[in-house]
A and B are shown apart, each in its own frame.
Chain A
């Protein structure tokens, strides 16, 4: 279809949904409408008319104004210059727009996502020769994108054939040809440092792989109790004020991923500013470089047009897949998928589609599933390994986890980090509920922990969870009849559970030391507290009154270990452990002697 055929006119404007008469336009095609040239996307065709959803406000747009089809679906630009940037829901560069247009986002402006002028130093892959066959996804060279990220330039997945030419090492801008490939029809494709890819089409790979190692986030309750594998998918549901955003920010900060993509989907503008302000100052604990060197932000704040919100998570996941195809472990955080679902609902409502649950369209579950399935660990086209780990925040209305978005999401994901209002109200942060949360990957994670940290990991983890469950049970009894009804051993369980909660589970995102715990430190702390608990149990069996134990000064220090010793001070933690156990041994021998004397 020739371009000039794709001209038409606006028929009807109903908020973000506009009817246009545009013969030959395809479903899913990008359009520009009105005298301002607002961007949108065709979502259905009826006879000669097309319905389009518009990414920008349609105020003062009139029937009769022009509309044109752009001949391609919503796509993103993939190439060097992405990392460290902040883009809106349809990949417009927000920094560039701020410099160009000021405080507010004007309509109809569409600067290119990637800088065309900047020169990148390209080094071609060795032993690639002209006339060699080459496949889509093959690596033809590298560009150092940031200090930490080596951007691997790959042949677009939909191009394959014979390599005719490859540029020598040197500085190139994005529009310069760095290679040519002749496909089997004889057509010559000019390769550049970037290519475009439609966001609603998952990028291809050779095969799917199982996850093998956990994503380390430095957060004790996540890594130790509810591990998430690289390439897995996870949901973080919670009512407002429970700390979803802080959990997401913490993961973005401390996860041992190569690339972090943070999609602020229908969330607060100031939270993104917080990331923009703080990340360049924070150091990646693995490379020592500023965190922004591996981070990319997609921002559709809650006051930005709703249709672009729907697009934003697809833009994010497509970029994530692109870095996966380069062989990287990518983490994508989507905050929040509920806002995305609401955008779906709004569009479907405007189209008059039959709502099923709480106004959501019938295809909610399948869209959610298809989106989460784009996460995974794969063998890439050029036989490398890469992964996309997907962590979606869910904002259930009223904190009710039975609502449609949470319940459908729960069916798809592997790991569930449930946030609790009660814990947050008591300022127990992160307010992740150990009863409602789960991880289906504990078995695989255990292999990694056993091999790399300690063979006692799975046992200790189970012991701690068991104590927390007993604690919940016993607390119910206490709330009915008071603590006096419990036996000494039972009251010691309550103390032990309190130690686990305060010394392991609670972790301050604001404390310089506590904000990140290495796996070694995580296990040390857990093991330390459980050892103390075990010693105490032995004392109680010996007849030591349970009231005496919680008053031991060593316990107050035990609760502070998490913030007193950082991840490099494992030896000090070991020394503390010896000291604590020694205190217990002393009481032990004291009582044992007394026992002998009375006997």
Chain B
């Protein structure tokens, strides 16, 4: 079907252009808009009737006039061209090259809004990924096919942590094909550069596909960008059998772009001006990770988002937490004490950990050790609060032991170097070093056999 071109624009408001009297235009159709100067902009149909069609213009409607604007309907959804050549390339949120190299030429083009995976087609993710970071491996283990976000805030080292995960992530006894899809939405030049240099210096650049939308690029492109990135990830994982790690930053910028467009469309706001469908929209992105029956590849998703004003109940982290399989939360308090990675243990969680660790996967004591550390640390933090009120001298000997534990835990277990790649054995042994400052009867989350085997006093 030939593309249809019209000059009947009837209204332009923010990022939205109304075109009158255009029959039979498909919902979701991709659009080119040519302005008076002959420059082309991109758009997509977001409402369609025979009387008028509403087009979302990615670059905005500034400097458009209604008389001399040409609108062309391409009669195809927003698509991405796919081939193995995408590895090592950099694209915009619309899939156009950003690295001054020619566009991908391929017969394989896929719509970026994929249909949902059938739950009956999924396989439960179980393969432990070693990141070399104790707080993740030991306490919030990541498994292949999981979606585990990093909840951060401005000024915290989430980029460094994400880069360390990319650098160190591996399956303990496996060296299979591994790729990274990196999706950057509304990032600064400094951040984009940081990642590019990281990938180059760790030698993975040829295995990375980057989708980049800078802070000064059109915000509407941030809506298509993660979908582009995930369509590429699905291709790499399920067509080319690769294990794909997708890092997305920053989901907060994505959600803000969504709010901007929703407000322009006049959608009813739910919380903090975000549209009611923010949950479903985020889920469409996050749920594209996972493992599929009879496919060799996998998509593991690590989205990074900054919590506005460090508030974990803000709609973006809140709704994300309801969709993802846990979260790694960063703490300003630990960061200010110079602890890297400043992982805030109490609210961090990995839901898929239970089936990926233990006897056949990591070590038999792992689940109990993790539980025991959590319980002791929670108690130790209470004691620390108490000490700040009544003074550490007033504490009983039992309580002082907790206080010392909290410090040792943060300094030795949580803290580690940016290049320090701890094996899971090392992490668990370190945990037992700390647990051994307690007498065996105070450790009720680990069992008696494990105490006999690993507790230093029983040696």
A94: contacting residue among B119, B283, B292, CB under 8 A:
B119
CB contacts (< 8 Å) of B24 on chain A: these are 62-64
- Are B124's CB and A274's CB within 8 A? yes
Contacting pair A266 B279 (CB below 8 A): yes
**Complex formed: what's the CA distance from A252 to B195 in Å?**
45
Determine if B116 and A304 form an interchain contact, defined as CB atoms under 8 angstroms apart.
yes
Q: Is A299 an interface residue (CB 8 A)?
A: yes
A272 at the interface (CB under 8 A from B): yes
Decide if the interface of chain A is mainly helix, strand, loop or mixed: mixed
Task: Please provide the chain B residues from 292 to 323 with a CB less than 8 Å away from any CB of chain A in the complex.
Answer: 292-293, 295, 312-315, 318-319, 321-323
Cα A105 to Cα B386 in complex, Å, equals: 55
- Give the distance in Å from the alpha carbon of A64 to the alpha carbon of B23 in the complex: 8
- Chain B positions 111 through 142: 1 when the CB is less than 8 Å from some CB of chain A, otherwise 0: 10111111111111100000000000000000
- Verify if B346 is at the interface (C-beta below 8 Å from A): yes
C-alpha spacing A494/B208, complex, angstroms:
56
Do the beta carbons of A240 and B28 come within 8 Å of each other? no
Q: Does B161 contact A (CB under 8 A)?
A: no
A408 to B120, CA, bound (A): 34
Instruction: Kindly state the separation between the CA atoms of A325 and B362 in the bound complex, as whole angstroms.
Output: 49
What are the residues of chain B within 8 A of A452 when measuring CB–CB?
Answer: none
A510 in the interface (beta carbon within 8 A): yes
Inter-chain contacts of B26 with A (CB < 8 A): 59-62
Closest to A400 in B: B313
Q: Given A103-B118, A345-B270, A426-B379: A12 and B124 within 8 A (CB)?
A: no
Pair A426/B375 contact, Cβ less than 8 Å: yes
Report if B441 contacts A (CB, 8 A). yes
When distances are taken between beta carbons in the complex, the residues of chain B under 8 Å from A482 are 386, 389-390, 394-395
Interface stretch (choices B47-55, B95-103, B249-257): B47-55
Q: List 10 A-B contacts (CB under 8 A).
A: A15-B47, A62-B25, A103-B293, A239-B318, A240-B318, A303-B287, A342-B279, A359-B270, A398-B312, A556-B444
Closest to B143 in A: A270
Interface centre among B118, B276, B313, B396 (most CB of A within 10 A): B118
Contact of B121 among A103, A305, A346 (CB under 8 A): A103
- Max count, chain B CB within 10 A of own CB: residue among A12, A239, A303, A305: A303
B325 beta carbon closer than 8 Å to chain A: yes
From A355, which residue of chain B is reached at the shortest CB distance?
B268
CA distance A63 to B394 in the complex (A): 77
- Contacts A62-B48, A397-B271, A426-B378; is A97 near B118 (CB within 8 Å)? yes
For residues 265 through 297 of chain B, which have their beta carbon under 8 Å from a beta carbon of chain A?
A: 267-271, 275-277, 279-280, 283-284, 286-288, 290, 292-293, 295
B138 to chain A, nearest CB (A): 14
Is there a chain B Cβ closer than 8 Å to A436's Cβ?
Answer: no
How close is B220's CB to chain A, nearest CB, in angstroms? Answer: 17
The chain A residue sitting closest to B48, CB to CB, is: A13
The stretch of B5-13, B332-340, B347-355 in contact with A is B347-355
Closest-CB distance, B343 to chain A (whole angstroms): 14
Which residues of B are found within 8 Å of A274, using beta-carbon distances? 124, 355
Interface centre among B77, B113, B270, B389, by most chain A C-beta atoms within 10 angstroms, is: B270
Q: Which residues of A contact B438 (CB under 8 A)?
A: none
Asked whether A63 and B48 contact (CB < 8 A) given A57-B115, A399-B313, A484-B394, the answer is yes
5 smallest beta-carbon distances between A and B, as pairs = A398-B313, A302-B283, A426-B378, A303-B287, A12-B49
Which residues between 50 and 77 of chain A lie within 8 Å of chain B, taking CB atoms?
Answer: 57-64
A398 adjacent to B280 (CB under 8 Å): no
Q: Does A575 contact B (CB under 8 A)?
A: no
Q: How far is the CB of B165 from chain A (nearest CB, A)?
A: 20
Within 8 A of B (CB), among A480-510: 480-484, 502, 510
Distance between B79 CB and nearest chain A CB, rounded to angstroms: 11
Which of B120, B283, B314, B354: most chain A Cβ within 10 A?
A: B120
Interface residues on A, range: 35 or more
B contact set with A: CB distance below 8 Å: 23-29, 46-50, 77, 111, 113-125, 145-146, 238, 267-271, 275-277, 279-280, 283-284, 286-288, 290, 292-293, 295, 312-315, 318-319, 321-323, 325-327, 346-347, 349, 351-352, 354-355, 367, 371, 374-375, 378-379, 385-386, 389-390, 394-396, 441, 444-445
Residue of A nearest to B78 (CB): A59
Q: Please tell me if A541 contacts chain B, counting CB pairs below 8 Å.
A: no
Chain A residues with CB below 8 A from B346, complex form: 425-426
Interface centre among B117, B119, B284, B319, by most chain A C-beta atoms within 10 angstroms, is: B119
- 8 Å CB contact of A268 from B121, B287, B293, B395: B287
A168, chain B: closest CB distance, angstroms: 37
Chain B: which residue is nearest A359 at the CB level?
B270
Please report the C-alpha to C-alpha distance between residue A346 and residue B355 in the assembled complex, in whole angstroms.
Answer: 35
User: Bound state CA distance, A269 and B331, in angstroms?
Assistant: 30
List of A residues within 8 angstroms of B119 by Cβ? 86, 94, 264, 269, 272-273, 276, 299, 301
Which of the residues B114, B313, B371, B441 comes within 8 Å of A104, measured between beta carbons?
A: B114
Answer whether A241 and B347 are a contact pair too, CB < 8 Å, given A266-B283, A426-B375.
yes
Partner of B323, one of A105, A302, A345: A302
With A19-B49, A269-B122 already in contact, the answer to whether A59 and B28 are too (CB < 8 A) is yes
Q: How far is the CA of A359 from the CA of B271 in the complex (A)?
A: 8
The CA-CA distance from A395 to B319 in the complex, in Å, is: 10
- B118 and A241 form a contact (CB under 8 A): no
Residue A107 CB within 8 A of the other chain: yes
Q: A104-B118, A303-B280 are in contact. List 10 more A-B contacts (CB 8 A).
A: A60-B28, A62-B27, A103-B238, A268-B325, A270-B325, A303-B117, A303-B283, A303-B287, A306-B277, A482-B394
Bound complex: CA of A169 vs CA of B337, how far in Å?
Answer: 78
With A59-B27, A510-B354 as contacts: A349 and B276 at CB distance below 8 Å: yes
Q: Give complex CA distance A478, B389 in Å.
A: 10
Inter-chain CA distance A62–B49, complex, in Å, is: 8
Chain B residues with CB below 8 A from A245, complex form: 351
Shortest C-beta distance, B390 to chain A (Å), equals: 4
B279 contacts A270, CB within 8 Å?
no
Contact bitstring A421-450, B, C-beta under 8 A = 1, else 0: 100011110000000000000000000000
> Contacts of B394 on A, CB cut-off 8 Å?
482, 484
Contact between A553 and B375, CB atoms less than 8 A apart: no
Which residues does chain A contribute within 8 Å of B386, judged by CB atoms?
Answer: 478-479, 482
Asked if residues B444 and A61 are in contact (CB atoms below 8 Å), the reply is no
A395:B120 contact, CB within 8 angstroms: no
Residues on A with beta carbons closer than 8 Å to the beta carbon of B280: 266, 302-303, 306, 342, 346
Chain B residues with Cβ below 8 Å from A400 are: 313
> How far does the alpha carbon of A480 sit from the alpha carbon of B125 in the complex, in Å?
46
Tell me, rounded to whole Å, the shortest Cβ–Cβ distance linking A105 to chain B.
5
* A303 close to B116 (CB less than 8 A): yes
A27 is an interface residue with CB less than 8 A from chain B: no
Contact B276 A479 (CB under 8 A): no
A277 contacts the other chain (CB 8 A): yes
Chain B residues with Cβ below 8 Å from A559 are 444
Q: Determine whether the beta carbon of B389 is less than 8 Å from that of A480.
A: yes
**B371, A427: Cβ atoms closer than 8 Å:** yes
The answer on a CB contact under 8 Å between B271 and A349 is no
Please tell me if A597 contacts chain B, counting CB pairs below 8 Å: no
Contact A240 B321 (CB under 8 A): yes
Contact status of A273 and B367, CB under 8 A, knowing A103-B238, A342-B279, A426-B374: no
**Bound Cα distance A513, B57 (Å):** 60
CB-CB contacts below 8 Å: A344-400 with B: 345-346, 348-349, 355, 358-359, 395, 397-400
Residues of B within 8 A of A3 (CB): none
Q: Once the chains are docked, how many angstroms separate the CA of A192 from the CA of B77?
A: 45
Contact between chains at A14 and B47 (CB < 8 Å): yes
Does B122 contact A273, Cβ atoms closer than 8 Å?
Answer: yes
A578 within 8 A of B: no
Q: Complex formed: what's the CA distance from A59 to B354 in Å? A: 38
CB distance from B52 to the nearest CB of A (A): 9
Report the nearest A residue to B266, measured CB to CB.
A352
Closest A residue to B347 using CB positions: A425
Residues of A near B279 (CB, < 8 A) are: 266, 302, 339, 342
B114 / chain A contacts, CB cutoff of 8 Å: 104
C-alpha gap A426/B382 in the complex (Å): 10
